[in-house]
Structure 1
Amino acid sequence: MQNGKKQYTTIIFDLGAVLIDWNPRYLYNKIFATPAETEHFLGHICTADWNEEQDAGRTLQEATELLVEQHPSYEAQIRAYYGRWKEMLGGPIPESVAILQQLKDSQRYKLYALTNWSSETFPIALVSYPFLQWFDGILVSGREKMRKPQACFYELLLDRYGVNAAEALFIDDNLRNVTAAEACGIESHHFTSPAGLRQILAEKSLLS
């Protein structure tokens, strides 16, 4: 604490829906005739729980074949999930990237990313988004074979990069992941918009 304010040395970002706009609906709204069909498919076939297993290290091929066997009538749509995965990327979230750049330019903080992402698709993001090179380190769940909200994933980042949890701020759009980070002693912000993030950072004197 200095002048009654907490001192921050480290800011940890989630990537998807914070800095990068990713949504499988961008693809499946082109494949299916109606939004209702898209929602049924994503809610019952290629579900979030299924996708998280790839984030945790399961191969894309194994995941795809598993669902094709379970739902053969949807084979073409299932294979499109990773066959046309790039079409799920909506691009960077400009206002959030501007915040990241301002933090980087200040040279006051170490910047890390902690992301649930398949190791097989993450290289596409690295090529597509040059701002990912601004981070001092990135932990990708698919590479580490662990994912948020598992405590071991947060602890791995703290240990690998020598981060003091008491001096860090974690930013994630998933409240489940925010709660898990706080349980590991990392102060966290539930991201809902770039404007909200900028306001919080300004209140904490992390941004002017």
Structure 2
Amino acid sequence: MIKTIIFDFGDVFINLDKENAIKNIFNLLQIEKLSEEILAVNNLYEQGLVSTDEFITFYLENFPKLSRQNLIDAWNSILLDLPEHRLKFLKNLKATTNYKLILLSNTNELHIDWIKENISIYNAFKNCFDAFYLSHEINLRKPNANIFEFVLSKNNLNASECLFIDDTSEHILSAKSLGIHTWNLNPKHEDVTDLSKVKPDLF
């Protein structure tokens, strides 16, 4: 029996424009693909293992024509909106069920700062959760199994009693390997508000 629902954030609640963001970064840096070094620094930043200043300095040192603000704007261009209907769904889920609700997101300080400034319903959204984990704050990231083990341990959860919802198949496979139930949501065709249709046994 499911007792806890663990949600991803990006493309589950907040809409993302991944293709446009990649295009913006490529155009800004005048590159055709991200190097192993860039990917490694991005991952470290997402885990909070390098600071925002260190992250920005890395780019400015490697791309001297780059300005700090242009980099930040391109980096944040992945972020779109958090639709009201998803907040309404979440509030209703909290009010009408006994599920423990947890958010587990790979994110970084620049993105969260942008969200806090530009998404007016962010605080109301965050308040719906019993626990709220951002990768850069806990120094762990999906799909590594230890981030799921951290959530299970921190909240005294049994994997078999948890449902994890994420749009990235790699993250889903990692959760499944620990015995967590999953829904690999496809943001092009599905919405998190379809939960009762996808998992009718939950209601």
- Give the TM-score normalised by structure 1: 0.76
Q: Is the 8 A contact 1:26 1:89 kept in 2?
A: no
Q: Does 1:61 align with 2:53?
A: yes
What are the within-5 Å matches in structure 2 for residues 106-185 of structure 1? Answer: 106-119=96-109, 121-126=111-116, 128=119, 129=122, 130-185=124-179
Aligned length: 196
Q: Is the 8 A contact 1:18 1:191 kept in 2?
A: yes
Query: Out of 191, 195, 207, which is 2:190 matched to?
Result: 195
Segments of structure 1 that go 5 or more residues without pairing to the other structure are: 1-6
- Counterpart of 1:80 in structure 2 is 70
What residue identity is the alignment partner of 2:97?
Q
Q: CA distance change for structure 1 residues 22 and 38 in 2, over 3 Å: closer, same or farther?
A: farther
- Counterpart of 2:90 in structure 1 is 100
Q: Is the 8 A contact 1:25 1:38 kept in 2?
A: no
**Matches of 2:15 and 2:38 in 1, distance apart?**
18
What residue identity is the alignment partner of 1:204?
K
**Matches of 2:30 and 2:127 in 1, distance apart?**
37
State the Cα distance separating 1:138 from its structure 2 match.
0.8
What residue identity is the alignment partner of 1:17?
D
Q: Does 1:51 align with 2:46?
A: no
- Give the TM-score normalised by structure 2: 0.78
State the Cα distance separating 1:59 from its structure 2 match.
1.2
- Counterpart of 1:89 in structure 2 is 79
**Matches of 1:122 and 1:23 in 2, distance apart?**
16
Q: CA distance change for structure 1 residues 164 and 69 in 2, over 3 Å: closer, same or farther?
A: same
Segments of structure 2 that go 5 or more residues without pairing to the other structure are: none
Q: CA distance change for structure 1 residues 176 and 27 in 2, over 3 Å: closer, same or farther?
A: closer
State the Cα distance separating 1:198 from its structure 2 match.
4.8
Q: Is the 8 A contact 2:196 2:202 kept in 1?
A: yes
Q: CA distance change for structure 1 residues 162 and 89 in 2, over 3 Å: closer, same or farther?
A: same
Q: Which runs of 4+ in 1 moved over 6 A?
A: none
Q: Does 1:12 align with 2:6?
A: yes
Q: Is the 8 A contact 2:47 2:136 kept in 1?
A: yes
Q: Which range moved further: 123-132 or 153-162?
A: 123-132
State the Cα distance separating 1:185 from its structure 2 match.
1.4
Q: Does 1:205 align with 2:200?
A: yes
